[in-house]
């Protein structure tokens, strides 16, 4: 699945392309996509493909195409404080983006069939929390993952405000999925080859909307245990935050407000995202074409047809290249972003252990 938008050179350009194609339509979703680099969820040897609008699979590890994730995020209509259940949570990429929107008082649970993928997701989550430049811009609802088949969830589990299933749902399992929702909740899942949004408008009332034609691998049916009974999946309990944790959230929130007020007083306007520096594009563009044939992948670069008929422009294009090279150092090397929250915390007259606690013991 995927290929709806052009490949990007980096995560920001991928998001720009998704916005231009109207797959990303709201500011909250855009912020979440920009905050987490998709390449961080790839194995090192496959990172060259991270910014293509294509699904990726290696063994049990799987990522859907960016255009699919963006449609899912938009359809879920996420808001701070909601509860979210991700069925087939995989690498945790989607769950982490959702957690940036849910905030510290949301609930973020995932069910994944493969234990090795759960371990992979936990490693990626730990890497994001400890090293991401954007982590301190948000209050994060950390996902919790459990191993099991999502068709065997214990019937006494709590219901959720938002549910997503990342595998094809057979028609006979539609009601099972619907029953995971609270009244007013939204379920997004591939149903009968369509990405489908179902809103629970009452105890027995539903609104259904088909979003996008998709092709997902079907849900894996449960295996019966030797006793003939299924293995029930027990979702994580909805835990109450400790007083210590609540204090950290409140202190960090207060410091962010102070930083915002200081910025307002200096600049006279609100905080804005710094401009992104990009290479100036040449007028002659090339389009990357990827062809799948049997199990082989063929990639070719096809020049714009007009190139063959306009050889006289070669001198002008060469001059453009030289200009680009001359301007590249200043355009591509902006000052590194400053983590004002981290600087402010480290400057406080507090014991070092408390400072590190306020910073989540982050490495940056």
User: Which residue in the list 64, 70, 95, 96 is annotated as catalytic?
Assistant: 64
Q: Which residues contact 212 (CB under 8 A, 6 or more apart)?
A: 68, 71, 194, 195
In a 3-state reduction of DSSP, which class is residue 60?
coil
Backbone φ, ψ for residue 181 (5° rounding): -95, 145
Site of tokens 């609802």: 141
- CB crowding 243-258: b at 16 or more within 10 Å, else e: eeeeebeebbeebbee
Q: In the chain, where does DSSP find H-type helix?
A: 11-20, 27-35, 66-76, 93-102, 115-131, 174-178, 243-267, 305-308, 314-332, 340-347, 352-358
**Distance in angstroms between the alpha carbons of the first and the last residue of the chain:** 36
- Respond yes or no: is residue 95 known to be catalytic: no
CA atoms within 13 A on the CB side of 203: 0
Closest by CA position to 212, among listed 14, 5, 15, 23: 23
**17 closest CA partner among 274, 272, 288:** 288
Contacting residues for 59 by C-beta, under 8 A, at least 6 apart? 116
Catalytic residues: 64
């Amino acid at each position: 699945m995927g290929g709806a938008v052009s490949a990007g050179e980096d995560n920001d350009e991928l998001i720009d392309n998704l916005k231009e194609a109207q797959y990303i339509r709201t500011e909250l979703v855009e912020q979440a996509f920009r905050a987490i680099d998709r390449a961080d969820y790839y194995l090192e040897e496959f990172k060259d493909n991270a910014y293509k609008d294509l699904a990726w699979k290696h063994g049990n590890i799987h990522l859907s195409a960016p255009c699919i994730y963006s449609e899912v995020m938009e359809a879920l209509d996420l808001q701070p404080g909601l509860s979210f259940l991700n069925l087939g949570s995989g690498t945790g990429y989607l769950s982490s983006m959702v957690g940036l929107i849910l905030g510290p008082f949301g609930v973020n649970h995932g069910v994944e069939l493969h234990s090795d993928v759960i371990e992979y997701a936990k490693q990626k989550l730990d890497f994001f929390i400890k090293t991401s430049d954007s982590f301190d811009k948000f209050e994060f609802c950390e996902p919790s993952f459990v191993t099991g088949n999502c068709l065997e969830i214990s019937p006494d589990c709590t219901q959720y405000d938002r549910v997503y299933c990342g595998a094809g749902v057979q028609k006979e399992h539609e009601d099972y999925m619907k029953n995971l929702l609270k009244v007013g909740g939204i379920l997004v899942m591939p149903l009968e080859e369509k990405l489908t949004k179902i809103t629970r408008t009452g105890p027995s009332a539903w609104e259904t909307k088909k979003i996008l034609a998709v092709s997902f691998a079907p849900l894996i049916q449960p295996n019966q245990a030797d006793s003939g009974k299924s293995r029930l999946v027990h979702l994580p309990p909805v835990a109450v935050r400790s007083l210590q944790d609540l204090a950290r959230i409140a202190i960090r929130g207060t410091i962010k407000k102070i930083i915002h007020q200081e910025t307002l007083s200096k600049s006279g306007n609100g905080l804005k995202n710094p401009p992104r520096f990009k290479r100036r594009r040449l007028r002659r563009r090339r389009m990357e074409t990827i062809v799948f044939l049997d199990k082989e992948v063929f990639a070719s670069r096809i020049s714009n047809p007009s190139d063959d008929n306009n050889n006289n422009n070669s001198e002008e294009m060469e001059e453009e290249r030289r200009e680009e090279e001359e301007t590249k150092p200043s355009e591509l090397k902006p000052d590194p972003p400053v983590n004002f929250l981290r600087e402010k915390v480290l400057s406080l007259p507090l014991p070092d252990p408390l400072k590190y606690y306020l910073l989540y013991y982050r490495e940056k």
